A and B are shown apart, each in its own frame.
Chain A
Amino acid sequence: MPLDFNKDAYPEPPRQTPVVDKQTALPNPALILSKLFYYSVDLPVTTFREAVDSIQAKNKSVYYHQKFRRVPDLTQCQEGDYLCYYEAEMQWRRDYKVDQEIVKVVQERMRACHQREGSSYQQNCSKEIEQFTEVSKNYQLRYGDLGAYASGRKCLMKQKERMMAAAQTQNA
């Protein structure tokens, strides 16, 4: 996870470190194994990482998130205005990618919740599950079976079919 993740969406489970109440003189194997792991794996990896970070700190660069302006939709284009069609198509593709990432983030939250709760996930993370089912249902409705050659026009036609079906069920 990156260092600046949303702490509310991924809450940490309560700590369950037991109180140490040693009643024997025998060494604790869990302690031995954890120390072994620490000295053989954790310490070398951490020192290497710190060394690399100190080298990289000298030439540090930054990158930005690109924000695109909104342009007129396909529905707001004149017929035959191919430039308007192209800009609307590019905007639709960017929105498609954004929607895919939204579904992935919501799914990731549900999986994290599942992992945290263990066997009682179905009752404890009902919010995440409900959010995920709603988001994926809407995604399927909007972009569902458009296929590999999906385009803004095909998506618009799908929306038209949905609206017609809704109107028919309303009238009938």
Chain B
Amino acid sequence: MVGMSLLRSAAGIAARLSPLKTGNAATNLLARTIPRTEKVAVRWGHGKKMFVIKPTEYYDKRFLRLLKYYVLLTGIPVAIIVTSVNLFIGEAELVETPEGYEPEHWEYYKHPITRWISRNMFDSPVKDYEKMMAAIHIEKEKADMRLAQLEVRKHMRQRGDGPWFHIETVNKELIDTTPKATPDD
């Protein structure tokens, strides 16, 4: 017991006196001295170790992490689909329209994805054209009817011989003309 403490104190004195000597550093276990931090062998370590105080990067890193996640969530499948379509199903070739053949509306486009969208999601351009013409026709009929109504209104108000602009008057049979029937009343 006493011998141990002697050994320990001797190791401690040796460590304090010449701390850089290799044998003395191992005596930390015996000496219970705190090793000087800048003197401990550390990989990549040179210079005084600093505790850098900087503002939190948590929110910024979280934003960038979530941004990358949500962009890649649909970005990667779309990239894979488009790449595989371009590699395995190529673009169409331009040929002359054969005699007597009416191509479908999607057969006028080159890229396979455009063709697919045109076939499954859009109406044919002919149908769109006809829809627009139908809308124009309906609006034209409405405009014509409104003009005709104004014209009719003008005439009926002027001439008074039509069903509009009637002012309800009392029935002639209900008038009692007996007080003024003869000139002597």
Interface residues in B57-115 by Cβ distance below 8 A to A read 87-90, 92-97, 103, 107-110, 112, 115
**Nearest-Cβ distance from residue B91 to partner chain A, whole angstroms:** 9
Q: Tell me which of A21-29, A54-62, A106-114 binds B.
A: A54-62
Chain A hits for B136, CB < 8 A: 82-83, 86
Contact A62:B107 (CB < 8 A) given known A83-B137, A86-B133, A90-B129: yes
Chain A hits for B112, CB < 8 A: 61
**Docked complex Cα distance between A59 and B115 (Å):** 14
CB–CB A63/B94 < 8 A: yes
Interface residues in A64-120 by Cβ distance below 8 A to B read 64-67, 80, 82-83, 86-87, 90
Chain B hits for A65, CB < 8 A: 94, 96-97, 108
Interface residues in B122-148 by Cβ distance below 8 A to A read 129, 132-133, 136-137, 139-140
- How many residues of chain A are within 8 Å of chain B by beta carbon? 19
Chain A hits for B108, CB < 8 A: 63-66
Chain A hits for B107, CB < 8 A: 61-64
CB–CB B87/A62 < 8 A: no
Contact A62:B133 (CB < 8 A) given known A52-B87, A55-B87, A82-B140: no
Which partner residue on chain A sits nearest B103 by CB separation?
A: A64
**Docked complex Cα distance between A67 and B115 (Å):** 18
Contact A56:B88 (CB < 8 A) given known A62-B107, A86-B133: yes
**Nearest-Cβ distance from residue A60 to partner chain B, whole angstroms:** 7
CB–CB A64/B95 < 8 A: yes
**Docked complex Cα distance between A129 and B137 (Å):** 48
**Nearest-Cβ distance from residue B106 to partner chain A, whole angstroms:** 9
Residue A62 contacts which of B95, B132, B139 (CB distance < 8 angstroms)? B95
Which partner residue on chain A sits nearest B136 by CB separation?
A: A82
CB–CB A63/B89 < 8 A: no
**Nearest-Cβ distance from residue B158 to partner chain A, whole angstroms:** 25
Chain B hits for A66, CB < 8 A: 103, 108
Residue A63 contacts which of B109, B129, B132 (CB distance < 8 angstroms)? B109
Chain A hits for B90, CB < 8 A: 52-53, 56, 59-60
**Docked complex Cα distance between A55 and B109 (Å):** 21
**Nearest-Cβ distance from residue A29 to partner chain B, whole angstroms:** 38
Which partner residue on chain B sits nearest A52 by CB separation?
A: B87
Contact A86:B93 (CB < 8 A) given known A63-B108, A63-B109, A64-B103: no
**Nearest-Cβ distance from residue A151 to partner chain B, whole angstroms:** 15
Interface residues of A (CB under 8 A from B): 52-53, 55-56, 59-67, 80, 82-83, 86-87, 90
Interface residues of B (CB under 8 A from A): 87-90, 92-97, 103, 107-110, 112, 115, 129, 132-133, 136-137, 139-140
Sample 27 A-B pairs with CB under 8 A, ordered by A number.
A55-B87, A55-B88, A56-B90, A59-B89, A59-B90, A60-B90, A61-B92, A61-B93, A61-B107, A61-B112, A61-B115, A62-B92, A63-B92, A63-B94, A63-B107, A64-B96, A64-B97, A64-B103, A64-B107, A64-B108, A66-B108, A80-B140, A82-B136, A83-B133, A86-B132, A86-B133, A86-B136
